[in-house]
Amino acid sequence: MFTLLAGCAGLQNTIESYGEAGKIPDNYRWGSSTANNISCHVDRNTCDMGAKFHNAVPDTVTFAFNSAQLDAQAMAILSRQAEFIRQFPEVRFKVFGHTDAVGSNGYNYGLGQRRANAVVAYLISQGVSKRQVKAVVSYGETRPVINTQDEERRNRRTVTEVSGFMDDAPLILDGKYAQVIYREYVAAATPKPPVEAGDLATASGG
């Protein structure tokens, strides 16, 4: 008898929560994939172009100690970044400069800026529009990958990220979306040159 009553109580709670069979409940929500598609149609900035970029090419290059000079490995990575960026002229990018913790905060802020500037200059030399990568930012030593006060090459880096879409770019879903998909399809079928490990030895600053 107790089990039967408990079952009836559960059924009553279900009916109160969802209504009779076939009724769409008041708390109904779209699935995450559908919600994401809706968001992309409503606001192009919610489309995860950043993930596409991150998955397609390395987003980080590193530097020798106290240097903003691009080595062969960095240039190989940036050439791949430039190839991706050229495929999406409607997308804007920012380059963030970082240093390790050796040296003063003020000096390292300037060094991070010089590293970001060097990356932007190289991307532009590879055919990227100045309008797409004109914003460069330095975080100096404030955002390390490895939390250490010592010299650490992984902290001496720049990171390239998607920052949005051109203000005057046509909406990506106004009939030109197929062109974007086609560009990605062709790019995916194009062999990419391997990035050599290179010489990761450090010299001696931030």
Euclidean distance between CA atoms 45 and 204, whole angstroms: 42
| Sheet strands side by side (includes 135-140) | 60-62, 157-165, 91-98, 135-140
Task: Give the model's pLDDT for residue 20.
Answer: 52
Task: Give the model's pLDDT for residue 164.
Answer: 83
pLDDT category of residue 165 using cuts at 50, 70 and 90: confident
Residue-wise pLDDT tens digits, 104-124: 999 999 999 999 999 999 999
Asked if residue 108 lies in contact with residue 63, where contact means CB atoms within 8 angstroms, the answer is: no
Q: Which helix (H) or strand (E) holds 120?
A: helix 105-125
Domain ranges of the chain: 47-189
User: Which option is the CATH number for 47-189: 3.40.50.300, 3.40.50.2300, 3.40.30.10, 3.30.1330.60?
Assistant: 3.30.1330.60
Euclidean distance between CA atoms 171 and 173, whole angstroms: 5
Task: Give the model's pLDDT for residue 143.
Answer: 94
Task: Give the model's pLDDT for residue 116.
Answer: 97
